[in-house]
Amino acid sequence: MPYFDLPLPELRTYVSAVAEPDDFDDFWAATLSETRSHELAPVFSPVATGLTTVEVFDVAFQGWGGQPVRGWFLVPAGAEGPLPCVVQYQGYGGGRGLPHQWLYWPSAGYALLVMDTRGQGSGWSLGDTPDPEGSAPAHPGYMTRGIGDPATYYYRRVFSDAVRAVETVRQHPLVDPAKVAITGGSQGGGITLAVSALLPDVAAAMPDVPFLSDFPRSIRVTGKDPYTEIARYLKIRRTEVERVERTLSYFDGVNFAKRAAAPALFSVGLMDEVCLPSTVYAAYNAYAGAAKHMEEYAFNDHEGGADAHLPVQLAWLKTWVTGS
């Protein structure tokens, strides 16, 4: 596939045109206040998996609206804390999957919390967390659920859950609460950007090929789902463009990036047709943390670095989290 986005020198200086709502900070402060008005109530239940190198726990905690969110918690077998920890967020349509799919980080000496994504988990990996909230008429998928107002938009609930996931793992006695890093690819990368702003004291952020960034460009230029869910919605609801774009501005990774402080390792596939390189760079160039790096995969599409990127993350985290 040939390059189709901006030339690389322009990508490295590209600035998104996304608007920033005047009440962005107030909106998210109120959202987290509402979320935290419910007890976190974390539960870590041991699971017999037959695995000998890790210990696995089925996690439940209360996220948005006090609604239960599931996850997996894995630690090296026989580990004594405090351990550095990675919180993993999932790509679009995926759930927490199965425990044996998550051996990399505990094999490297980290605790790992894998957060389920509410309402998802039947696309490419299993999920176990429902989304009990309703929605006005929406396009199939998750991108337009409640999109008429920031207060009802689907990702308000997801981002709130993601903050609570970090707060959950920080309460576990085996975890060093000052050494919690966050990561995810695609949708998980977009969630990572949101949490890096909403919890600016996380130790490190590693958003890979982040989705949910630079919505004004993404919904107009890419021809790939999931962004085109919004385009098809607006094809029918012609008079709602301004209203929808206002809602999306509260959830745009660019606006979150401006508020982040943690060291960050980004990655981008320069042939990515889903999360366009320019939209990834829009978040990276806006990212306020002083210590940031972009890993570029010149001939990769939306998979980015895939499994080859994990050793890059591990080496980078040794600098910013474990100090070794």
pLDDT digits (tens, 9 = 90+) for 205-231: 999 999 999 999 999 999 999 999 999
Q: Which residues are annotated as a binding site?
A: 92
40-63 pLDDT, tens digit per residue, is 999 999 999 999 999 999 999 999
- The position carrying tokens 């000052």 is 178
- Alpha-carbon distances, residue 69 vs 29, 72, 168, 322 (angstroms): 21, 11, 11, 28
Residue 2: its pLDDT value, please?
Answer: 78
CB 175 within 8 A of CB 79: no
What is the distance between the alpha carbons of residues 113 and 215, in angstroms, rounded to a whole number?
Answer: 29
Domain ranges for the chain, please list them.
8-322
* Residue 214 appears among annotated catalytic residues: no
Check if the beta carbon of residue 94 is closer than 8 Å to that of residue 124: yes
What pLDDT, on a 0 to 100 scale, did the predictor assign at position 324?
60
Q: How far is CA 64 from the centre of its chain?
A: 16
Cα-Cα-Cα-Cα torsion 131, 122, 199, 209, nearest 10 degrees, comes to: -140
Distances (CA, A) of 34 to 13, 45, 145: 37, 27, 20
How, if at all, do strands 68-76 and 43-47 pair?
unpaired
Domain with residues 8-322, CATH architecture: 3-Layer(aba) Sandwich (3.40)
- N-terminal to C-terminal alpha carbon distance within the chain: 39
CA 117 to chain centre: 10
Which helix H or strand E contains 69, and what residues bound it? strand 68-76
Buried b / exposed e along 291-320 (16+ C-beta atoms within 10 A): ebebbbbeebbbbbbeeebeeebbebbeeb
Average pLDDT over residues 13-41: 98
Q: Please check whether residue 73 is in contact with residue 105, taking contact to mean a CB–CB distance below 8 angstroms.
A: no
- Is 302 annotated as catalytic? yes
Q: How far is CA 188 from the centre of its chain?
A: 3
Q: Which of 116, 160, 278, 302 is catalytic?
A: 302
Which residue from 218, 219, 193 is spatially nearest to 279, judged by alpha carbons? Answer: 218
- List % helix, strand, coil for the chain (3-state, nearest 5): 35, 20, 45
- Cα-flanking dihedrals φ and ψ of residue 40, to 5°? -70, -40
* Beta pairing class for 68-76 and 83-89: unpaired
pLDDT at 109: 97
pLDDT of residue 30: 98
Q: Which residue is catalytic, options 116, 272, 278, 309?
A: 272
pLDDT above 90 for 178: yes
Percent of the chain scored above 70 by pLDDT? 99
The pLDDT of 261-289, averaged and rounded, is: 98
Q: What is the DSSP letter of 159?
A: H
Q: Binding site for substrate, residues?
A: 92
pLDDT value of residue 203: 97
The answer to whether residues 117 and 90 touch, using CB atoms and an 8 Å cutoff, is yes
Tokens of 184: 């995810």
Q: Verify whether residue 293 is a known catalytic residue.
A: no
Indicate if the alpha-carbon torsion angle 114, 119, 120, 125 is positive or negative: positive
Query: 88-130: per-residue pLDDT in tens?
Result: 999 999 999 999 999 999 999 999 999 999 999 999 999 999 9
- At 8 the pLDDT is 96
pLDDT digits (tens, 9 = 90+) for 302-321: 999 999 999 999 999 998 87
Q: Is 11 helix (H, G, I), strand (E, B) or coil?
A: helix
Residue of 186, 218, 249, 267 with catalytic role = 186
User: Looking at residue 1, what is its pLDDT?
Assistant: 67
Q: Which residues are paired to 68 by β-bridges?
A: 62
Q: pTM score > 0.85 for this model?
A: yes
